[in-house]
Each structure stands twice: as C-alpha cells, then as structure tokens.
C-alpha cells in the first residue's frame, strides 16, 4: 500500500504535518514540491476557461469518493 503524507523540510529535517498510522513502517521516498504558497493554477495558460474548469470539477467529483474507499488499496498491492 502506498500512503502519502504531507510535511515540510526545515533545517535539515522533515516535519510531518499529519499523523502517520502506526502500522505503516518501511522505506520512504521524499519528493520536494514546488512552493505551494501560491497554488492557483493558471487555467488560461492551459487553455481552460472557468466554465470548462467548473464542468471538469463536477464530472470528476464522482470519482473522488471512489478513489478514497479502503477497498481501492487492493490496486496498490504488489
């Protein structure tokens, strides 16, 4: 199972900003993200207007609930 946890890298240490379930143990990969203080997406630059973005959000919202279901972890198993 893959589990993503947010955190911040400061002064040579990684500080997790959310709890990790106690049963999770093993190797990790740390990926440094770009500065998220301004996380707005430039829709126009990507050729998407506000109406199209709203339509996409509406259509994809149905999948979000399914992606978070515990039984979906089976697809992460190796």
Mean pLDDT split into 10-residue runs, the chain, 78 residues: 83 89 88 70 86 90 84 76
Q: How many domains does the chain have?
A: 1
Contact assessment for residue 3 and residue 77, using Cβ atoms and an 8 Å cutoff: no
Contact assessment for residue 30 and residue 22, using Cβ atoms and an 8 Å cutoff: no
Answer whether residue 63 is part of any domain.
yes
Answer whether residue 59 is part of any domain.
yes
Q: pLDDT value at position 35?
A: 66
Answer whether residue 11 is part of any domain.
yes
Answer whether residue 75 is part of any domain.
no
Q: pLDDT value at position 39?
A: 62
Q: pLDDT value at position 55?
A: 93
Answer whether residue 52 is part of any domain.
yes
Domain span including residue 21: 7-33+43-69
Residues 78 and 25: their CA atoms lie apart, in Å, by: 16
Answer whether residue 78 is part of any domain.
no
């Amino acid at each position: 199972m893959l589990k993503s946890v947010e955190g911040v890298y400061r002064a040579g240490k990684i500080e997790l900003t959310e709890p990790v379930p106690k049963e999770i143990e093993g190797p990790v990969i740390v990926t440094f993200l770009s500065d998220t203080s301004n996380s707005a997406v430039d829709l126009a630059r990507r050729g998407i207007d506000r109406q199209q973005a709203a339509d996409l959000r509406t259509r994809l919202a149905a999948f979000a609930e399914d992606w978070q279901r515990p039984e979906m972890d089976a697809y992460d198993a190796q």
